Structure 1
């Protein structure tokens, strides 16, 4: 689990940098200021949750494998796909209905952080 989330985290971080650079250098003049703001929000959350995956990988190394960490990692990946992915496509295509998918990604992010919190709280009980 540690290697898997570590690999996912590093790949998603590299993609966030590449996608961000693509938006800043190539897309901005094409899609305009409003759309680039939506795109940048996608990149921002993508990057934060790529780092969150790396934190999950480190936590597995420190605390050990757990179902809650497993779910935290996969919820972060799901959130990046749904939240950031929908914002990328929305900003480039202008298809407004994709905005309905974005909150599902936000819920996945929140659920992932709750799973991570529960893991930390459970680990304190075990070490006391």
Structure 2
């Protein structure tokens, strides 16, 4: 899978599932969950959407030629982080199985590490731009 396809596919999946979980939460779960558990679902939906948009932007940057290991790492960390962080919040809201609360901070750490990797990847790409445009056709070869 190319550098731009993976984050775009992940963004599409997370966006789709975010809408589904948001609607399910609002129309079904709100009346069946305690307020704190419903808030967990809302938090998961929010973080899922934020990172779906971040992955979309990363895919667009990849299509424009911004490709390096740090940006690829960011895509992987954000994807794993969404699955662990948001997935554990959803699963806990549905099951109240307490060991899931140990997965959530691991997912959050992956999300944070993804942002750090993204920053490093951007810093690596900016010096390589010859005319200041992220879509430059005069990019160095890799």
TM-score after normalising by structure 2: 0.85
Higher mean Cα deviation, 1-10 or 107-116?
Answer: 1-10
Secondary structure at the counterpart of residue 105 of structure 1? helix
Where does the alignment leave 5 or more consecutive residues of structure 2 unmatched? 131-142
Q: What is the CA distance between 1:69 and its match in structure 2?
A: 1.2
- Give the distance between the partners of 1:63 and 1:103, measured in 2 at CA: 33
CA RMSD of aligned residues (A): 1.2
Secondary structure at the counterpart of residue 67 of structure 2? coil
Higher helix share: 1
- 1:56 maps to 2:53: no
- In the other structure, the counterpart of 2:139 is none
Number of matched residues?
A: 128
Q: What is the CA distance between 1:7 and its match in structure 2?
A: 1.6
CA contact (8 A) 2:81 2:111 kept: yes
Matches within 5 A, 1:1-128: 1-127=3-129
- Give the distance between the partners of 2:118 and 2:65, measured in 1 at CA: 11
- Deviation by residue 1:90-126 (Cα, 9 ceiling, x = unmatched): 1111112211110000111011111110111111222
- Deviation by residue 1:61-86 (Cα, 9 ceiling, x = unmatched): 23432111111101111011100000
